Structure 1
């Protein structure tokens, strides 16, 4: 049986370099400012309630002012889920 010829390898040529594609983050630039604003508003609401001994921000709400403050903070965490 005839013996097959050995092929000579050509010099190695690396594959063409791929250009890195920019990652599109989307238009979510509003998320961070809104999230931080909600956190600060909630914290300020609770601090004002305690410092003024319950007469501010809304006197009629009584101790529910704390719930409103924590509601703003929770809304900030809700907005933070939109961050990409």
Structure 2
């Protein structure tokens, strides 16, 4: 089988891809806040579903079904924080 031609190595320096930069770890408070937001959002949604048939649905009675959107918003912020977790 024929052998392919090898490439010549150039003497030019290769551009820095940013991989040589040191990645700093997250602060100590990052992980508890991340998991805390996910749990608070879940508890927010559960509290709304449990109390939705009562006279005053919790957590915020005035916004009604928007409590679900608020709960999911809190959960999504927690999940977005997982993309930066090191």
TM-score range, shorter chain: 0.5 to 0.7
Task: Look at both structures and tell me which one has the larger radius of gyration over its CA atoms.
Answer: 1
2:38 aligned residue? 39
TM-score normalised to the size of structure 2? 0.63
Unmatched runs of 5 consecutive residues or more in structure 1: 1-22
8 A Cα contact 1:31 1:82, kept in partner: no
Unmatched runs of 5 consecutive residues or more in structure 2: 1-21
How large is the Cα RMSD of the aligned pairs? 1.9
Which of 23-32 and 39-48 deviates more?
Answer: 23-32
Deviation beyond 3 Å, 4+ runs, structure 1:
none
